[in-house]
Amino acid sequence: MTTSEDNAFRPGRRTVLAGLAVTLFAPNIAKAAETKVLETKTVETKAADPKIAAKAAEASVDPPLLAGDYAKERHKFRTDLLNKGPAPDKYEPLVAPSDADQIFYRSGLGGELELVAWVSRYERTPKPKPAVLFLHGGNAIGQGHWLLMKPYVEAGYVVMIPSMRGENGQKGNFSGFYDEVADVLAASDRLRHLPGVDPHRLFLAGHSVGGTLAMLAAMSAKRFRAATPISGNPDAFAFFHRYPEDIRFNAKNPREFQMRSPVCYSHSFKCPLKVMHASEETNLQARAALLSKRALAGGVKMELATVQGNHNSALPGAIEQSIQFFRSVAA
């Protein structure tokens, strides 16, 4: 795939998250980061093709439940990227929202990558403030994502949205749910060390692609008080069967998929979770239920919730539920 093709806007598979922000918050956001849209009707139509039906059947097989701790497995595994390049989504310029500060954090081997993050403006108080690291949907950060953070800010949290390697014209190679986890952990280090932030009340949330990354990050470190993945797919086998154009790694190696699949290491979560998906995301229900079943069997504190709406329209309600969950955990 060429660079121009790779960055092309594919309306059949992606939609602009700003549409939700426009409807709910502001009239003048014509561009924002794109997010994956899970279209069950498309899959049902394509399933008439025997080859596609076979692939769908293969993707529906439950991924294996693997022994070992995910964080330790990460130390031993290195993804094999066969196609190196930027993240696939169309993007807008990295300009901080008017009510946020743009800061930088270091990630990658030896901190070689300097990546952008947006942080809500706040005043230091005698008591350190709780913080939320929110992982955006799609593979680019946009102003529309930031508008959705207002409830967290109004609830008293310091909010950070980090961009990831290869996004919005930045350096680094897109890997699809793997090296980006290192970026999430690096961003969380930056956030918890900001002046006036309580490192013991650091929460993690994410939507869509960010929901999957939130799961993987919550398995990779103990620093988060709680996490709320929203509309994330815990099964990389199913995700990449649906979006094969996003595969940059060696797809012949099943370990590549396993290390991107929270459902394979569901006993490895290191904080309480509330996993949410939209009522119209019927394709996620079985995967989320399997994740929850395995996690609970492994002693993980996990709640499963369905929020009315579709992939985008359910997000405000899910954010409100995440705030309630964080408060209950930190009470």
**Tens-place pLDDT, residues 186-222:** 999 999 999 999 999 999 999 999 999 999 999 999 9
Amino acid residing at 287: R
Backbone angles phi, psi at 178, to 5 degrees: -130, -75
Q: Higher model confidence: residue 292 or residue 16?
A: 292
Q: Higher model confidence: residue 238 or residue 7?
A: 238
Domain at 172, CATH number: 3.40.50.1820
* Structure confidence at residue 44 (pLDDT): 34
- Number of folded domains in the chain? 1
**What is the average per-residue pLDDT within 249-255?**
98
Name the average pLDDT for the chain. 86
Neighbours of 244 (CB within 10 A): 10
**What is the average per-residue pLDDT within 149-160?**
98
77 contacts: CB under 8 Å, gap ≥ 6: 255, 259
* Structure confidence at residue 119 (pLDDT): 98
Backbone angles phi, psi at 323, to 5 degrees: -65, -45
d(CA 24, CA 133): 22
Helix 209-220 and helix 179-192, axial crossing angle in degrees, nearest 10: 70
The label of the residue with tokens 């500060």 reads 101
* Structure confidence at residue 60 (pLDDT): 62
d(CA 134, CA 228): 10
Q: Higher model confidence: residue 33 or residue 277?
A: 277
* Structure confidence at residue 217 (pLDDT): 98
**Domain span at residue 205?**
3-330
Of the pLDDT bands very low, low, confident and very high (cuts 50, 70, 90), residue 59 is low
Selection from 152, 224, 142 nearest residue 184 by Cα: 224
Q: Rounded to whole angstroms, what are the CA distances from 147 to 12, 118, 144, 261, 285?
A: 25, 12, 5, 29, 28
Residue 54 has pLDDT above 80, yes or no: no
d(CA 199, CA 160): 14
Q: Is the dihedral of CA 83, 88, 91, 97 positive or negative?
A: negative
Burial label, 105 (beta-carbon count in 10 A; 0-12, 13-18, 19+): buried
* Contact indicator for 33, 142 with CB cutoff of 8 Å: yes
The pair of three-digit structure tokens given for residue 10, joined into one six-digit string: 């594919």
Residue 29 has pLDDT above 50, yes or no: no
Q: Rounded to whole angstroms, what are the CA distances from 94 to 30, 62, 224, 331?
A: 15, 39, 27, 36
**Helix H segments across 63-176?**
70-76, 143-147, 150-154
* Structure confidence at residue 331 (pLDDT): 77
The pair of three-digit structure tokens given for residue 139, joined into one six-digit string: 């593979």
Backbone angles phi, psi at 194, to 5 degrees: -70, 145
d(CA 142, CA 171): 17
Selection from 208, 186, 178, 165 nearest residue 70 by Cα: 178
**Helix H segments across 200-302?**
209-220, 236-242, 254-258, 282-297
CA dihedral 182, 187, 192, 196 (to 10 degrees): 170
Of the pLDDT bands very low, low, confident and very high (cuts 50, 70, 90), residue 61 is confident
Q: Higher model confidence: residue 24 or residue 110?
A: 110
Helix (H), strand (E) at residue 274: strand 273-278
